[in-house]
Structure 1
Amino acid sequence: MSVEKVNLGAAGELAIRSLIERAPLASSLAEAFKKEGFRLALVGGPVRDAILGRLGNDLDFTTDAHPHQTKKILKSWADNVWDTGILFGTVAGKRGDTTVEVTTYRTEKYEENSRNPDVEFGDTIEGDLSRRDFTVNSMALELTGVKPEFIDPFDGLGDLAKRVLRTPSSATQSFSDDPLRMMRAARFASQLGFDIDSEVTEAMTSMASRISIISAERVRDEFVKLLMSDRPRIGITILVDTGLADLVVPEIPKLRLEIDEHHHHKDVYEHSITVLEQAISQEERLGGPNLVIRLAALLHDIGKPKTRNLLEGGGVSFHHHEVVGSRLSKNRMKALRFDNDTIEAVETLVALHLRFHGYGDGEWTDSAVRRYVRDAGDLLVHLHVLTRADCTTRNAKKADRLARTYDGLEARIAKLSEEEELSKIRPDLDGAQVMSLLGIKPSADVGKALDFLMELRMEHGPLGEERATEELIQWWKARRHP
């Protein structure tokens, strides 16, 4: 197929003009490549996003220059250059606020059991575009000609107008070349709100097992992008329906518990997705889109399938599902190679997500409120968001009562925080004071003494040094002479 120079009409010309105006550095970079006798084209997502009116500051280019030639040109143009992807043909640079990645024309595919693609450099932009994941990402804007030329050999513009995801080659061939594209389909459906072509969906379903050859890190990165999109429900549902989730996050499809006429309970899968959406609606409390709260919301009930118990006479219980779910969350996130801080935060939130339901109508003592704050630690606002999002009842009176009760708990936390600096709860004496008062050296006894003082602090609030000293000495005497 020859490269098609499309006559875009008024709308298309406007898109190109908008792209050039919004990415002025693209023109200067093109001049640098043209000066050395090479071609350069803006390609893929940035072209798509420019047409959609959502172009950002990260630009992707393709060129007939080989990687080391690209690196040399970028060094003369960019403020900073890095070549961590040079083996795959990619060199990156940054100039001002704009980051660029320039990749040599290439073709790539996965061998049957390989976790990394075999990359071969190509000679034409046509070949480069044919190897890309979806037609809406297989458009290019050639910048080194007399004037910018729009290149669209697979009617990506038409698919963009129809809001559909289709592959340049057959979906089977595309996903065989790179199985991660199956997850990208779900991710783009979430990010763009597009439908997936039926051939693509069929291939994803029949080839889902191929995702197992992809490294956990790459799978994680795609899953995170999906989860952080504006419409994660769309992508998660696609992963579940095609069977990809069974291999990537199997705990999620397991939430689709069977429900019979005698043992009624909420659809846990639907509930979890709704909790995710309701948490997203409160993210302004966390400063904007937040990966930890989204993961915790999605995973908070994954302990239910393992703890499900059918009760005599009807009904279902899920005793200690928060404990089981916390462990399962940790294991899944470790398998996906999440960083330790994120794993620990999500594990903590899943473990604590039911704590509020012991609050009743506000019967907790100040001590219990202090413990709630201490156990949440830096994740207190996350826990507020998760707990509120976890109310998906259709009973308006019950929902209103729960909201008002949690309002009351937050008010009590605020009042105690003002009085006692709850976020900085610590014993009234420090380790040095304990050792001086008790005449002991650093040892396990110091830790036990501090634990005793912390319990006093939690139970009674600030004691002051004088009373804390009296209590400590009495405790020490009782330990020495029981």
Structure 2
Amino acid sequence: MKIRSEYSLVDFWVKAVTNKNLLLRIDKKTAALLEDLRRLFSEEASEVYLVGGFLRNLVLKKPTADIDLCITGSGQAASAKISGYFKAPQVVLDAGNDVFRVILPAFQLDISGTADITANLTRRDFKLNAMAAPLSAVHQGSLPVQAIIDPTQGLPDIENRVIRVTSADVFSADPIRLLRAIRLSAELGFALDGQTQSLITTHAALISTVAGERIREELLKLLETSQPGIWEKCLELGLLLNIFPELTPCCRHPQPYEHTWDVLEHSIKTMYALDAILGRSVWPYQNPKIITEIYRESGFEKYFAGKISGTSSIRTLTKLAALLHDIAKPQTRSTDPDGRIRFTGHPLEGSRLSSQILTRLRFSKKEILMVEKMVCYHLRPVQMNPDGQLPSAKAIYRYFRDLGEAAESTLYLSLADHLATDGPNLMVANWQEHVNIVAHILSEQKKQLTRLVPKRLVTGTDLIERFNLRPGPRIRTLLGEITEAQAAGEIKNRQEAFKFISQRLEGQA
């Protein structure tokens, strides 16, 4: 896997950080918080340390709202003190290991207790996370490098852009670190050293023993990244199929001639293609022009950044759907008499499998429904143009009605699926037709939104009284047909709505 650095602009800074006279600058907002904390604990006998990822990100000049604190004393008592001072909620993360969280409006503080800071650091996961600095050393928004406690030589690892374990039992002590190693590699653009990779391979099966919600948290962070080759690395080291054993039959499963890659490779490539479409990476198999020609609404970026839960976005869930969209191909495979391979029904079966997987990983009902819809309907955008015609207004209305919030993301997932099907053998005419379909669907839906007034043209009571109908499901069906015809531009006012229903009822008589 070729590692791409996300922080090349700070190379000079990182290489200079071994200079003990250097001052690490802290942004004003964070510095103000640290000053409040320093004053809060100034009369305590215990020492409070800045630790872990916060220090790593400070060295990398990477902004962060997550601040890790370690106190030589009770983490619970320190957390309660901070919570009371800021009048902020306190969350128990791991009572057995004395780890707590305080949630502020702009920051998240993770607080732990320890008897000895050096011993605490040597038990941490990776050397670049095994650093600490006394909170008391922060002065006027600066932290001197010489104040950093670095027993495992994490600073040189940051300089060399490498991730190394602090000890051989790191992963057996807490298997979530297996996935965290991959995530940090993708997030920072750092390489995993040979020993770390070997240990991940050895212990990969342990990831299945981790609580689903912890895997979900790391997985969503990994999905936020766009590092080329990271999912192949996850597969190579044995993690991907231990997290998603349902993908195992997809590995090396052959596809019809128009596909460049097998089912699993295609699914991984679909994630990369989606990243390219979302402007977060490049698609190396074709001219960049094919990506720039894709139609995007003005609210495109805002839509994909939209939150589905506190930690998941439409973008991350669409990438997850990209990974899972063909998961049911092996079990739905059939071969025609002429030898053609088919996967009839794989979207529906795939949505069921996806639901089972995400339930196991403790995704929310809303997140699961979103991914289910994308997997179930990922072929629908290209099935809406019979005989090469553009989709009808009614077909587009039904599409958005059925998919709801997942409608737009599924359109772009279908484009990513197309790119990952053809790879370097893209048929430009077919691709352009697909791009035009997506553009037409989005522009037509925009027109439909302007046609649908907030107030209904007619109500159920209107239909009952006007046409002497009985209350029941039929009324809801007729109202839905009115809305569909209104969206398609076939009716524009109350009178036309009544005429439309009259014709419908006559046709049913």
Q: Which residue of 2 aligns with 1:437?
A: 466
Q: CA offsets per residue over residues 304-353 of structure 1, 9 Å max, x none?
A: 22222345565432223222222222221122121111111111122221
Identity %: 25
Residue 250 of structure 1 aligns with an amino acid whose one-letter code is P
- Please give the alpha-carbon distance, in whole angstroms, between the structure 1 residues aligned to 2:471 and 2:109: 55
Q: Distance in 2 between matches of 1:424 and 1:378?
A: 20
Paired residue for 1:278?
273
Contact 1:367 1:460 in 2 (8 A): no
Letter in 1 for 2:431: L
Is the counterpart of residue 251 in structure 1 residue 249 in structure 2?
Answer: no
Counterpart in the other structure of 2:316: 291
Q: What is the correspondence of 1:368-447 to structure 2 with a 5 Å cutoff?
A: 368-392=395-419, 393-394=422-423, 398-411=427-440, 413-415=442-444, 417-418=446-447, 421=450, 429-440=458-469, 442-447=471-476
- Counterparts of 1:316 and 1:68, CA distance in 2: 60
Match of 1:17 among 24, 32, 35: 24
Residue matched to 2:199: 203
Match in the other structure for 2:166: 168
- Per mean C-alpha deviation after superposition, the further-off stretch among 284-293 and 57-66 is 284-293
Contact 1:279 1:385 in 2 (8 A): yes
8 Å CA contact 2:381–2:414 kept in 1: the answer is: yes
1:274 Cα deviation after fit: 2.3
How far apart are residue 399 of structure 1 and its match? 3.4
User: Hey, what does 1:78 align to over in structure 2?
Assistant: 86
Query: TM-score with structure 2 length normalisation?
Result: 0.78
Amino acid at match of 1:291: T
1:322 to 347, 367, 373: 347
Superposed CA deviations along residues 113-169 of structure 1, whole A, max 9, x for unmatched, are xxxxxxxxxx10012112211111111112336986211111112222232222212
Q: For residues 396 and 257 of structure 2, what CA distance do their matches in structure 1 show?
A: 38
Aligned partner of 2:152 in structure 1 is 154
Separation of aligned partners in 1, 2:479 and 2:156: 69
Number of aligned residue pairs:
453
Supply the RMSD in Å over aligned alpha carbons: 3.4
Give, in whole Å, the separation in 2 of the partners of 1:28 and 1:460. 61
Q: Report if aligned partners of 2:448, 2:488 keep a CA contact under 8 Å in 1.
A: no
Among 23, 35, 38, the residue aligned to 2:43: 35
What is the match of residue 139 of structure 1?
Answer: 131
Q: Specify the alignment match of 2:290 in structure 1.
A: none
What are the Cα deviations for residues 55-84 of structure 1, in whole angstroms up to 9, with x where unaligned? Answer: 312211111131343135425653525243
Contact map agreement 2:253 2:263 (CA 8 A) in 1: no
**Structure 1 pair 274/265, CA: closer, same or farther in 2 (3 Å)?**
closer
Structure 1 stretches lacking a partner, 5+ long: 1-7, 106-122
Question: Relative contact order (alpha carbons < 8 A, sep ≥ 6): 1 or 2 greater?
Answer: 2
- Specify every segment of 5 or more residues in structure 2 that has no aligned partner in the other structure, as ranges: 1-14, 280-299, 306-314
Q: Residues 338-377 of structure 1 correspond to what in structure 2 (within 5 A)?
A: 338-358=363-383, 359=385, 361-377=388-404
Report which stretch shifted further, 365-374 or 318-327. Answer: 365-374
Query: Greater shift after overlay, 80-89 or 430-439?
Result: 80-89
Partner of 1:184: 180
Amino acid at match of 2:200: M
Q: 1:263 to 1:376 in 2, by over 3 A?
A: closer
Q: Which amino acid aligns with 1:336?
A: L
TM-score, normalised relative to structure 1: 0.82
Q: Which amino acid aligns with 2:193?
A: D
Instruction: Tell me the secondary structure at the aligned position of residue 68 of structure 2.
Output: strand
Q: Deviations over 1:335-394 (max 9, x none)?
A: 212111111111112222112323253354333333333333333321232122222224
